[in-house]
């Protein structure tokens, strides 16, 4: 029996959210104080949710693994946030943002959720401006917009190349105000180790204090996970070093279904890999594609000469350059969606036209600098250019940047219904941690929008609707409740087990090995054989981990190696699940490209007949295969078409 009920409200797609709000249950102000909500994560989704729930008067406990909520990974987002304001008067509307998002996601997202997202996008911009977020402005004093991939309008609001930072600091300010007011209590450097389920409902979490190693239990009438994405399964990604999939995996093991694990986003414009010691990949924002043109040499011999260091890109004449995106996709040009741009780069490099190590293409600003002047380019992208120069030691104002696709974002995540509730009642998931609104591919500048939509404008309603029925649930004392005591013991045993293996391999060496398997077999291009191989290899690596990993130090102190070991143990499980999901989905859609399913021109070939559904996986034990459940997707407001950016 499946527990999947998406709970989409009645009515036309444009009326559903209003209908929901008109009929949802409320909690009166005096009672809110009696209800506890746990929010794990302080990124845009968690920070905004915690602050807003605190403002309403609920008692909120907030957790993050960094030393301050302000450092959540959302801080690193560069390019911008979408909204359907239509300030530039270029034909945007709520419907168009909705349409672009569903199409961008290759028709694998839930219509009702995406429409709501587009609806509340405008409120987000208003909210952020009211908080003092210094968005870029025109000389007339009004807000400026830029364009992002997959759209033909300018709907992206930005704060230089630091939009995520500014939005997060806005949410962090709101959270700080609630901490000062006493409605929110913050737990920094505290890692969630498990979800506690009592009588079928989520009632709390188990945590580890990362400074002292202490294991604690916390009660909540409801639990929100806003713990970000799991791109670090691949070891190298644009995510922060501590970004992890553990909270989601722990919830999955406790019965929350995992949605579309195989949908990962590979971002086309990242600084290429340059060595074995490398710890992470750095994104060069998609906004650069507004002014940068992507190319490789037209002639193979030129590419070879460049790779050998005998030729410079600036020496190649215009007619000898292949602006392959402009050539293949004239309507969208350099601004095609990410999955399309990434595959096109791989295609050129695999064919022998790559530059640098062979795994790189050029992103060139020469034309833009001639047109707009260096100052304008510096104003738009100064911090990105500086970042590039610090890493690569080349001046991108003078010579084109080298870029290559890298793992960036996970569209998959915990399955949630319209209320953002997982299959465990009382357990909500928000932001990148849920399987979300982006289908098989996310458009640029839409993750910030989704995180803040979930946090400011969706969860305050839906969590309240849930809590209205919990008024009579007394606060449980974790010290005296069987489920909490057992969960705490399990966590303690898990940690002891990791500490006692005392093998010969460092956590990182195993994580890197997993990363290679994932990148080679579950990365940009996948096929049946490679995926089957990956499942076998990961399973063997998992055994190796549990037999041979080495975690130095002790568990009762600050121990970064132990933290990593705990995360890598979960990544090993997640990697296998991703490969399984990718193997079962016998079609190409969005970020999921199966080599067996492509058109003659090498474009992704969907199979709507058989695969217009969300694949969700139910955990069946560590040795058993997970069970697949399907949520069929119905398109009522949008006609499903072949995605075309030509």
Ligand X SMILES: Cc1cc2nc3c(=O)[nH]c(=O)nc-3n(C[C@H](O)[C@H](O)[C@H](O)COP(=O)(O)OP(=O)(O)OC[C@H]3O[C@@H](n4cnc5c(N)ncnc54)[C@H](O)[C@@H]3O)c2cc1C
Counting contacts by CB under 8 A, is residue 137 touching other proteins? yes
Q: According to the binding rule CB under 8 A, does residue 129 interact with other proteins?
A: yes
Residues of this chain, 579-638, that bind other proteins according to CB under 8 A: none
Q: Does 275 bind other proteins (CB under 8 A)?
A: yes
Torsion sign across C-alpha atoms 143, 147, 153, 158: negative
Please report whether residue 73 would count as binding ligand X according to CB under 6 A: yes
- Kindly state the smallest distance separating residue 183's Cβ from other proteins, in Å: 11
Does residue 463 belong to the site contacting ligand X (CB under 6 A)?
no
63 binds ligand X (CB under 6 A): yes
| Rounded Cα–Cα distance for residues 240 and 103 (Å) | 29
- Residue 381 and residue 387: Cα distance in Å, rounded? 10
CA distance 404 to 357: 11
Site for ligand X in 394-423 (CB under 6 A): 408-409
Q: How far apart, in whole angstroms, are the C-alpha atoms of residue 495 and residue 274? A: 35
Stretch that binds ligand X, among 121-129, 241-249, 414-422, 609-617 (CB under 6 A): 241-249
The closest alpha carbon to 287, from 380, 183, 182, belongs to 380
- In DSSP notation, 149-165 reads TT-SS--EE-STT-HHH
3-state DSSP assignment of residue 450: helix
> Binds 433, which of other proteins, ligand X, none (CB < 5 to 8 A, cut-off by type)?
ligand X
Per CB under 8 A, does 485 bind other proteins?
Answer: no
Q: Write down the least CB distance from residue 106 to other proteins, Å.
A: 29
CA distances from 254 to 33, 246, 248, 623, 631 (A): 28, 12, 10, 15, 20
Tokens found for residue 105:
């996601």
User: Binding of other proteins at residue 241 (CB under 8 A)?
Assistant: yes
DSSP 198: E
Look up residue 63 and give its two tokens: 């957790």
Can 338 be counted among the known catalytic residues? yes
- Window 285 to 314, contacts with ligand X (CB under 6 A): 285
Alpha-carbon distances, residue 560 vs 91, 484, 507, 556, 575 (angstroms): 51, 26, 11, 12, 22
Which residues in the 172-201 window bind ligand X by CB under 6 A? Answer: 191-192
Question: x/- contact string, 387-406, with other proteins (CB under 8 A)?
Answer: x--xx-x-------------
What's the closest the beta carbon of residue 442 comes to ligand X, in angstroms? Answer: 8
Contacts (CB under 8 A) with other proteins, residues 162-221: 162, 165-166, 169, 172-174, 176-177, 179-180, 186, 188, 211
Binders of ligand X in range 114-143 (CB under 6 A): none
CA dihedral 432, 436, 439, 440 (to 10 degrees): 30
Told to check if 40 binds ligand X by CB under 6 A, we report yes
Instruction: Kindly state whether residue 238 participates in binding ligand X, applying the rule CB under 6 A.
Output: yes
Is residue 163 near ligand X by the rule CB under 6 A?
yes
Report yes or no: 233 and 245 within 8 Å, Cβ to Cβ.
yes
Residue 123 touches other proteins, criterion: CB under 8 A: yes
Binding mask 529-568 for other proteins (x = CB under 8 A): ---------------------x-xx---xx-xx-------
Nearer CB in complex with ligand X: 408/526: 408
Which of the 8 DSSP states describes residue 34?
A: T
260 membership: H or E segment, kind and range: none
Q: Which of 355, 427, 448, 518 binds ligand X (CB under 6 A)?
A: 448
**H runs (alpha helix) in 275-323:** 300-307
CA 416 to mean position of chain CA atoms: 15
Query: E strand or H helix at 639, and its extent?
Result: none
Q: Which position among 71, 338, 380, 594 bears the catalytic label?
A: 338
Task: Give least dist CB 75 to other proteins, A.
Answer: 5
> Pick from 574, 567, 575: which is nearest to 210 by CA?
567
Q: Could you say whether residue 271 binds ligand X (CB under 6 A)? A: no
Please list the active-site residues: 338
Query: Interface residues with ligand X (CB under 6 A)?
Result: 40-46, 63-66, 72-74, 76-81, 163-164, 191-192, 226-229, 238-239, 243-244, 246-247, 283, 285, 408-409, 431-433, 445-448, 451
């Amino acid at each position: 029996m499946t527990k999947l009920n998406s709970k989409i409200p009645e009515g036309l797609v444009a009326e559903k959210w209003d209908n929901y709000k008109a009929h949802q249950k409320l909690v009166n102000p005096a009672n809110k104080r009696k209800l506890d909500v746990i929010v794990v994560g302080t990124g845009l989704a968690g920070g905004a949710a915690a602050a807003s729930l605190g403002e309403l008067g609920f008692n909120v406990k907030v957790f993050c693994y960094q030393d301050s909520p302000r450092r959540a990974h959302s801080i690193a987002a560069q390019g911008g946030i979408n909204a359907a304001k239509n300030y530039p008067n270029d034909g945007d509307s709520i419907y168009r943002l909705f349409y672009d998002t569903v199409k961008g996601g290759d028709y694998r997202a839930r219509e009702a959720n995406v429409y709501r997202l587009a609806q509340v996008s405008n409120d987000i911009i208003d909210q952020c401006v009211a908080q003092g977020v210094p968005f870029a402005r025109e000389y007339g004093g009004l807000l400026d917009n830029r364009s992002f991939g997959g759209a033909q309008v300018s709907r992206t609001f930005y704060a230089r190349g630091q939009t995520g930072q500014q939005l997060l600091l806005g949410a962090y300010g709101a959270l700080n105000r609630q901490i000062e007011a006493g409605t929110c209590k913050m737990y920094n450097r505290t890692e969630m180790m498990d979800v506690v389920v009592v009588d079928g409902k989520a009632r709390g979490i188990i945590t580890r204090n990362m400074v002292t190693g202490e294991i604690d239990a916390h009660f909540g009438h409801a639990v929100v996970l806003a713990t970000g994405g799991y791109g670090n399964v691949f070891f190298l990604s644009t995510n922060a070093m501590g970004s992890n999939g553990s909270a989601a995996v722990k919830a999955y093991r406790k019965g929350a279904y995992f949605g579309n694990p195989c949908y990962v986003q590979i971002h086309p414009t990242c600084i290429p890999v340059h060595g074995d010691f490398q710890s992470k990949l750095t994104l060069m924002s998609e906004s650069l594609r507004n002014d940068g043109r992507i190319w490789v040499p037209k002639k193979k011999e030129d590419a070879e000469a460049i790779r050998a260091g005998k030729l410079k890109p600036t020496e190649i004449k215009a007619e000898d350059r292949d602006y392959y995106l402009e050539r293949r996709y004239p309507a969208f040009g350099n601004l095609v969606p990410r999955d399309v741009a990434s595959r096109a780069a791989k295609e050129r490099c695999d064919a022998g036209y790559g530059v640098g190590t062979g795994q790189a293409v050029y992103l060139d600003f020469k034309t833009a600098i001639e047109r707009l002047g260096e100052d304008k380019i510096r104003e738009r992208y100064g911090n990105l250019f500086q970042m590039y120069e610090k890493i690569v030691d080349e001046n991108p104002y003078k010579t084109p940047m080298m870029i290559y696709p890298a793992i960036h974002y996970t569209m998959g995540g915990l399955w949630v219904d319209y209320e953002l509730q997982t299959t465990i009642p009382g357990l909500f998931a928000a932001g990148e941690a849920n399987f979300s609104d982006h289908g098989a591919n996310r458009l640029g500048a839409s993750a910030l929008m989704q995180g803040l939509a979930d946090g400011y404008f969706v969860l305050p309603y839906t969590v309240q609707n849930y809590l209205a029925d919990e008024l009579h649930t007394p606060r449980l004392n974790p010290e005296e409740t069987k489920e909490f005591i057992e969960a705490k013991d399990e966590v303690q045993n898990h940690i002891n087990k990791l500490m006692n293996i005392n093998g010969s391999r460092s956590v990182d060496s195993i994580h890197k090995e997993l990363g290679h398997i994932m990148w080679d077999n579950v990365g940009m291009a996948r096929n049946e054989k490679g995926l089957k191989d990956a499942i076998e290899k990961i399973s063997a690596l998992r055994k190796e981990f549990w037999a041979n990993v080495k975690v130095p130090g002790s568990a009762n102190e600050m121990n970064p190696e132990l933290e990593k070991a705990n995360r890598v143990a979960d990544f090993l499980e997640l990697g296998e699940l991703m490969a399984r999901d990718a193997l079962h989905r016998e079609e190409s859609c969005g970020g999921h490209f199966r080599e067996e399913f492509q058109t003659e021109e090498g474009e992704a070939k969907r199979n709507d007949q058989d695969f217009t559904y969300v694949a969700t996986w139910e955990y069946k034990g560590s040795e058993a295969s997970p069970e697949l459940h399907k949520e069929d997707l119905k398109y009522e407001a949008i006609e499903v078409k072949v995605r075309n950016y030509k």
